[in-house]
Chain A
Amino acid sequence: AQSVTQLDSQVPVFEEAPVELRCNYSSSVSVYLFWYVQYPNQGLQLLLKYLSGSTLVESINGFEAEFNKSQTSFHLRKPSVHISDTAEYFCAVSEGGATNKLIFGTGTLLAVQP
């Protein structure tokens, strides 16, 4: 069965510093990978996704994630964070393109400090 591991429950970082949020998955078949962001008291919003093709995917607000099949990872990175990036970030995986069974990780709280 597929699963997602986000080892870091919280990542504190200073503003303008780089950050990496880690995500590892387990699956025996091809997968689709996602990062969702949740701001306080809101639902989740799609940040970026990997379906196929280039292993490096980017979001419109400067985040990027790289699909690494050999390490079964999909880490999220940003070279310089802003206070407004403070949120909870969830990694998710679906097997074989079946979005009907999207499995989420436990989330990582990114806390950006001035």
Chain B
Amino acid sequence: NAGVTQTPKFRILKIGQSMTLQCTQDMNHNYMYWYRQDPGMGLKLIYYSVGAGITDKGEVPNGYNVSRSTTEDFPLRLELAAPSQTSVYFCASTKNEKLFFGSGTQLSVL
């Protein structure tokens, strides 16, 4: 099993550009999450999904969108990138109250 796979690992965007962070898991987990990690701020939940076709907002959803058309995939969309979205993004899935994290995407918006 590859676990949770995120792409890309690094990305630089210009203000106003859009992009999609990809996340896929091969563990057949129903629950999936997107977090952002900022220095000194810990991890903040952006969106989560409890299964295909079901998504919900977390703590900091503004500026982001998600979809969950399949159990495996949970992409995160930034429509109009802003400098405040410079962060490290982690995708995760859950089984038995244990989160499995991807290796992260480092995004800079300049």
* Cβ B31 vs Cβ A43 within 8 A: no
Q: What is the count of residue pairs linking A and B with beta-carbon distances less than 8 angstroms?
A: 59
Question: Does A27 sit within 8 A of B, measured CB to CB?
Answer: no
Q: How far is the CB of A56 from chain B (nearest CB, A)?
A: 18
Known contacts: A42-B103, A43-B103, A43-B104. The answer to whether A104 contacts B98 by CB under 8 A is: no
B101 touches A106 (CB 8 A): no
Contact B42 A107 (CB under 8 A): yes
Nearest 5 A/B pairs, CB to CB: A43-B101, A106-B42, A104-B43, A104-B42, A44-B101
Q: Is the CB of A102 within 8 A of B103?
A: no
Q: Could you list 22 examples of A-B contacts with CB < 8 Å? A: A32-B97, A43-B90, A43-B101, A43-B102, A43-B104, A44-B92, A44-B101, A49-B98, A90-B42, A90-B43, A99-B94, A99-B97, A99-B99, A100-B48, A100-B50, A100-B56, A102-B33, A103-B59, A104-B35, A105-B42, A106-B41, A107-B40
Docked complex Cα distance between A34 and B97 (Å): 9
Whole-angstrom distance between the alpha carbons of A9 and B97 in the complex?
26
Q: With a CB–CB cut-off of 8 A, which chain A residues contact B27?
A: none
Which partner residue on chain A sits nearest B9 by CB separation? A41
Most buried by A among B35, B42, B104: B42
Task: Report the minimum CB–CB distance from B21 to chain A (whole Å).
Answer: 14
CB closest chain-B residue, reference A105: B42
With contact pairs A44-B90, A101-B48, A101-B58 given, residues A9 and B99 touching in the complex (Cβ less than 8 Å): no
